[in-house]
Structures are given as C-alpha cells and as structure tokens.
C-alpha cells in the first residue's frame, strides 16, 4: 500500500461516480501514451522513468559535492527560474527549519539556501549582494541554454561578485553549472572555466526536473536525504504504473475527478495547504499545471491558498464567490514537532476549552470544518493525504502530481510538455530593450505604448 491517498467523497454532490468512471478508457489510453512515449510531446517524457534510472553513483556524487560546498559556504545561491528552481525550493521549504536564516551558524550544519535569477528586482539583487559581501558562499547556475534572461543576468552579476571577492581561480571552484550535456552558452563557459557540472537530460523539461540534479543538488546542500526522495518517487512510480484503475490508482482518480469537474464548469482549481512550509509546493504545482495545461484556450486555471491564513482573506470569496471553483487539499497526518496549548487561569480569550490540545489537532479541526463549510457553499473538495512531511512522502507527492498532470493534459488534448506562450513576453522585452535584430518589432511596440 502506498501511503499517499486520495479521497473525493466531497465531490459527489456535484458529479456522479459514473461521470468519474467514464474517463477510465481515456486514462488507460493516455497512460499507455505516457509509458510508451507515443503521445504529444513525447520527446520530453524522460521524467517518467527517471526515478528508476537515478543511480547510487550520481546520488553519492551529489552528496559529496554538497558536503564540499557546506564546508566552505554559509550560503548557497541557486540561480534559476520556473522549474529550474521551484521544485528544489518546494522540497527545501517543506523540510527546513522555518527560521533557519536566524539560527546561529553553530546551530546549522548546512548552508542556508537563497535564490536569484527568478525575477529582475533591482533592490532584491542589491540586498542579496550586500549580504554576500559578508558571508562565504557558493552558487549553482541552472539553465539548459545559459541565455534565459533572468538567470543569465543574475549569473553575470554574481559571477563578477564571486571573482572580485575570492579571485577568479577560487570563484571557479565555487560555481556549479547544471546545464545541457553538450550545447549552449553555459556549457561552453563551464568547459572553459572548469566548473563542476551536472547534466539536465535532453528529454526532461524544467517543470518536471525536480528529480534531476536541478533539484537534487540544492536539496542535498540544504541537508536533506535525496536518496529517500528518489525512493519515494520510485516506489510510487512502480505502484501507479502497475494498475490504472480509477478506483485504486490515485493518479487516475485525480485526473478523472478534476476533468469531470472541469466539464461541469469548474474551471479554477485551488490547491489548499494547512502548513506554511507547503507554500512552495503550491507554487511548484501552479507552474506544473499552468504551463502544462494552459494552451489552445483550454485548461483548468491553477490557484493556491495557504490556510488558515487565507481564510481571513480569500476565504470569503471561496465561500460565496463565483461557483466556477473547486479545491484540492493537501492534508498532512502528523507533525514533526509538538506544541500544546496551555491552561490560562484568567481565560480572558475563552480558549481553555482547547487547553491541553496540540496546535496540529486544532489545525486538523480547522481543516475538517473548512472543507464542510466550502462544500456546503458549493465548492467541491478533493483531499490528497500523506502521513507526514519527509523526503520519502514528498517524493511520492512530486511523482503523483507529475504523472497526473501528463494524463490530464492528454485528456484535454494538449501537449503537456511545451510552453509556446512563454516566448511572447520575451520577444517584446528584447525589442523594448534594443536587442539587435528586433528593431522593427520595437518600433511597432512603441507605437502601441
């Protein structure tokens, strides 16, 4: 039995079991297309077998590299955008101490992970370099091409900063390039400079790359067990590829339910978590589903909320707004630490009725109460549950969402592995910045502006 479970009892007042089960033949067909790499975008299906192909040797090498980084660095800068950093950040944020950046260096065994190249904020980069002036650091630059604008700008700035701080020879030893195995500007530079490198497989796109060195190196540097992460994904892969029945396979069930709801006009899916350290799981999921399904004027819009915080903001809309939404709740069975609410003799806050109870128990009751309220308000709810937050269960969750995304994309007949719309803003930005070759386009855009 795989610990990750899915429950959909709270959708059955909106769609019927027969409507869900009507997707079985399509799901069987799409699983075959994924497994045998015969569907749309099949040249980017390397992630399907990835958990079974990651060798002990590569895990050992990554762990050794992470140990060397930790010995000389207080901070580790991960330069990347989209899938080149979101997967790693999702796992790290889910597992790390919430306030690791405030801990004394002696209390930390591993570098604090910070991020660059995921936006173009000038104050952010200036603040980061100010901190890097004072701390020892190394960095990973993640890009197949080496020319993606945001990470390329960040790398240019931080490479210069490293070289000024440590000298060129030592700076070269503090840079790890995760890039194409043979082509591209970053690969060329890495060979010239002698950077330590890891390969991004040609057949794995960025948003499916968590289980490549793109995700594994930063996760290892942060001090987490990448072997357990891979094991969770591997064992879930074996489970879900053995049987595609909607009633026993969580991937099949999730793909069927969300598409049955989509057919009924539920065009927005809200991923809900009740743990603050799951916020970046939501951000990774939003990119995975938004970039995979949002094509040809199709696709469920992926949104996210962090409860109970957002019950005091978005909760009102979810309860009584437009009824084109459904929720998918990530439910965590137990916590790694325990905090008990004390008795207060004055009881001015009138909370003695929960004294002696753990915060997690109160949070679970909030989760149950919210689900019932939202279902009563016309919002279907899917529940995905894992026993606790650790590397093994996160590996299961990652592979679950990846496989379900591929199958769901095929159900609506799009290519889940390309992102043609992402290029539109880049062309306009290059033209407005005066990139050679974009002069005619720049003139057209300035007239529009």
| Residues forming the active site | 291, 312, 426
Cis peptide leading into 308, omega within 30 of 0? Answer: yes
Inter-residue contact 51 to 233 (CB < 8 Å): yes
Phi-psi region of 210 (alpha: psi -120 to 50; beta: other; left: phi over 0): alpha
Q: Which residue pairs, CB below 8 angstroms and at least 24 apart, start in 177-184?
A: 177/140, 177/141, 178/140, 178/141, 178/142, 178/143, 178/213, 178/214, 178/217, 179/141, 179/142, 179/143, 179/144, 179/146, 180/144, 180/145, 184/143, 184/144, 184/145, 184/146, 184/147
CB neighbour list of residue 189: distance below 8 Å, 6 or more residues apart? 146, 177, 195
- 317 alpha-carbon distance from chain centroid: 25
CB neighbour list of residue 174: distance below 8 Å, 6 or more residues apart? 72, 73, 137, 138, 139, 162, 166
What's the token pair of residue 269? Answer: 């899916």
**CA-wise closest residue to 138 among 104, 92, 174:** 174
Indicate the length of the chain as a whole number: 449
β-partners of residue 269 are 302, 326
What's the token pair of residue 308? Answer: 């109970």
Angle at 213 between CA 207 and CA 215, to 5 degrees: 50
């Amino acid at each position: 039995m795989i610990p990750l479970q899915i429950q959909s009892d709270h959708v059955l007042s909106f769609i019927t079991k027969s409507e869900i089960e009507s997707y079985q033949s399509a799901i069987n067909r799409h699983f075959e297309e994924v497994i045998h790499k015969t569907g749309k975008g099949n040249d980017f299906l390397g992630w399907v077998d990835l958990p079974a192909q990651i060798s002990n040797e590569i895990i050992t090498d990554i762990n050794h590299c992470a140990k060397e980084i930790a010995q000389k660095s207080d901070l580790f800068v991960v330069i990347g955008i989209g899938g080149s950093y979101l997967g790693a950040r999702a796992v790290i944020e889910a597992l790390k101490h919430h306030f690791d950046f405030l801990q004394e260096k002696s209390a930390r065994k591993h570098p604090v992970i910070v991020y660059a190249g995921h936006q173009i904020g000038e104050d952010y980069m200036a603040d980061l370099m100010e901190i890097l002036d004072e701390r020892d650091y190394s960095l990973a630059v993640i890009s197949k091409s080496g020319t993606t604008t945001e990470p390329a700008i960040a790398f240019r700035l931080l490479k210069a900063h490293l070289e000024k701080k440590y000298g060129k020879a030592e700076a070269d030893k503090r840079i790890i390039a995760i890039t194409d195995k043979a082509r591209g500007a970053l690969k060329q530079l890495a060979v010239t400079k002698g950077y330590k490198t890891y390969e991004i497989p040609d057949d794995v796109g960025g948003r499916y790359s968590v289980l490549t060195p793109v995700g594994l190196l930063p996760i290892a540097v942060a001090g987490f067990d990448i072997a357990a992460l891979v094991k969770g994904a591997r064992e879930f892969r074996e489970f879900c590829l053995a049987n595609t029945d909607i009633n026993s396979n969580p991937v099949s069930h999730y793909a069927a339910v969300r598409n049955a709801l989509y057919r009924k006009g539920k065009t927005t899916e809200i991923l809900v978590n009740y743990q603050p350290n799951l916020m970046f799981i939501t951000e990774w999921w939003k990119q995975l589903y938004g970039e995979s399904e949002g094509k040809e004027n199709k696709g469920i819009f992926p949104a996210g909320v962090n409860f109970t915080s957002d019950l005091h903001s978005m909760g009102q809309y979810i309860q009584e707004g437009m009824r084109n939404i459904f929720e998918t709740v990530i439910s965590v069975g137990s916590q790694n630490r325990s905090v008990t609410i004390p008795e207060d003799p004055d009881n001015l806050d009138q909370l003695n009725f929960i004294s002696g109870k753990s915060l997690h128990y109160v949070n679970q009751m909030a989760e149950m109460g919210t689900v019932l309220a939202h279902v009563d308000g016309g919002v279907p709810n899917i529940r995905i549950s894992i026993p606790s937050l650790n590397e093994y269960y996160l590996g299961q969750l990652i592979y679950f969402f990846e496989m379900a995304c591929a199958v769901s994309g095929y159900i609506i007949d799009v290519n889940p592995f390309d992102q043609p719309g992402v290029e539109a803003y880049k062309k306009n930005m290059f033209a407005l910045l005066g990139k050679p070759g974009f002069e005619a386009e720049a003139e057209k855009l300035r007239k529009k502006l």
